[in-house]
Amino acid sequence: MRAKNIKRKEGKCMKNQENQKNQNNQEVQENNSSKFNRMTSRMLQIKAETASNEEIKDRLLSGGRVTGTNMVVMVCAILIASVGLNTNSIPVIIGAMLVSPLMGSILAIAYGTVSADPDLTRLHSVGFAFQIIFSLIASTIYFILSPVKAPTHELLARTSPSFFDVIIASAGGIAGIVGQTNKEKANNIVPGVAIATALMPPLCTCGYAIANMNLRMLGGVAYLFLINAYFIYASACLFLSLLEIPRVRELTPAEWRRSRMKMVRNTILVLLPCIVLAVTVGLK
């Protein structure tokens, strides 16, 4: 009996020691995690410099409007980009990048996605689709009527997307949303992002490819536009999630899983041709 009691006591002591160790390890991990979070927040200080939720919403949704001023500016951007591509003029193409309102629509879609507002997401997705179709039709008409039919260097330069375009679009998307959500709207960031993540020139190059029935060129440049648009959207969604933008309704755990899996799936699908091209080039 005494031996059994001693063994029981020893067993209890061992369990207590193990529990104490686990508790200590957990506390150390929590302390390390909190230290890391404090260090990160001090370095970035993102939330401290972020505008109010109402201001962020107003900025992003106003930038995503298709009618009025944005429509007039888009028509001008299409014309400027088409002429610049047709005449091989880099400064003119850069001008089209700067005035194009397409990025505003992408950021508005990202806001609708993160705020779990399907009506808002649908509205701006339809608006963005309209902008794409209108740009394709207008640029196709321009290149049909244009007397210059030979493809310029600037047209051909947009037909071979690579993994570098993914990096540029992702970084540009983060920089763009940071500029739009800052307390003092960073007007110096948006022009740089517009130039780095060109959206209008690839669309107008698609118009050239359609006008000249060049399907190979159309495939390459359409994929470049998809990379730019999608990774700007994905980066903006990620950053807005970190800012904890208020949602219209809270998602259930199952809905969160579906949302995350959908984002992962779409990212893989968009990246797949890029990866295949990179592997093919590497093997050659």
Per-residue pLDDT tens over the stretch 81-105: 999 999 999 999 988 888 888 888 9
CB 92 within 8 A of CB 52: no
Torsion of CA 68, 69, 75, 76, to 10 degrees: 160
Question: How far is 209 from 166, CA to CA, in rounded Å?
Answer: 23
Query: Mean pLDDT across the stretch 255-262?
Result: 84
Q: What is the mean pLDDT of the chain?
A: 80
Nearby residues of 252 by Cβ (< 8 Å), 6 or more positions away: none
Q: Kindly indicate whether the domain formed by 63-283 is annotated with CATH number 1.10.3470.
A: no
Question: What residue has token string 């000249």?
Answer: 212
Write down the pTM of the prediction: 0.78
- Distance CA(92)–CA(32), nearest Å, equals 52
DSSP for residue 50: B
The SS3 assignment for 182 reads: strand
Contact of 105 with 77, CB cutoff 8 Å: no
Alpha carbon distance 170, 110 (integer Å): 13
Q: What is the residue type of 56?
A: I
**CB burial class (10 A; 0-12, 13-18, 19+) of residue 191?**
middle
In the chain the first and final C-alpha atoms are separated, in Å, by: 79
Residue 48: predicted pLDDT: 64
Share of the chain above pLDDT 70, in %: 75
Torsion sign over Cα 81, 166, 57, 249: positive
Locus of tokens 């649908």: 122
Q: For 148-152, 169-173, 245-249, 258-262, which range has the lowest pLDDT when averaged over its residues? A: 245-249
pLDDT in tens, 167-217: 988 888 888 888 888 777 655 566 666 676 688 999 999 999 999 999 999
- Distance (Å, whole) CA 279 – CA 284: 9
What is the average per-residue pLDDT within 116-137?
A: 92
Q: Where are the alpha helices (DSSP H) in the chain?
A: 2-44, 53-63, 69-87, 90-99, 102-114, 118-145, 153-156, 163-181, 189-196, 200-211, 215-242, 253-283
